[in-house]
Amino acid sequence: MSKKKNTPGSGIVYSTDPNFSFESAPEEVTETLAPAEQILRVVLDKKQRAGKVVTLITGFVGKEDDLEKLGKELKTKCGTGGSVKDGEILIQGDYKEKVIKWLLDWGYKRTK
């Protein structure tokens, strides 16, 4: 027996209408902005992280794959761990100045 994919927000379990068809909202495809158009914020954060400092990069507009790629490049450059989730890049440790320099070198001109 196969399960149907649960669509978020559908809220419909069963319909007695024989002509009913579920119309899902068209998926938003967010195009990745060019590096020069991105407005990225680089901050140090230690909230809810057991007192450990992380470098947090927010404000990326684009596809999840492109965000993952940028996160991987930054983690590699820093030589440390981190993660990409909820539209944010987390780099373990205090790498704020280095991250800003690399982002500016890569064409992200509106980085603060």
39 in a structural domain: yes
Q: How far apart are CA 60 and CA 24, in angstroms?
A: 27
Structure-block tokens of residue 68: 């993952």
CATH, residue 83: 3.30.780.10
Question: Average of pLDDT values for 44-65?
Answer: 90
Contact (CB, 8 A) for 110 and 38: yes
Contact (CB, 8 A) for 104 and 40: no
pLDDT tens-digit readout, 69-107: 999 999 999 999 999 998 999 999 999 999 999 999 999
Q: What is the domain range of residue 47?
A: 35-111
26 burial class (0-12, 13-18, 19+ CB within 10 angstroms)? exposed
Tell me the CA distances in angstroms from 59 to 41, 42, 67, one per residue in order.
6, 9, 10
Tell me, yes or no, if the pTM score tops 0.75: no
77 in a structural domain: yes
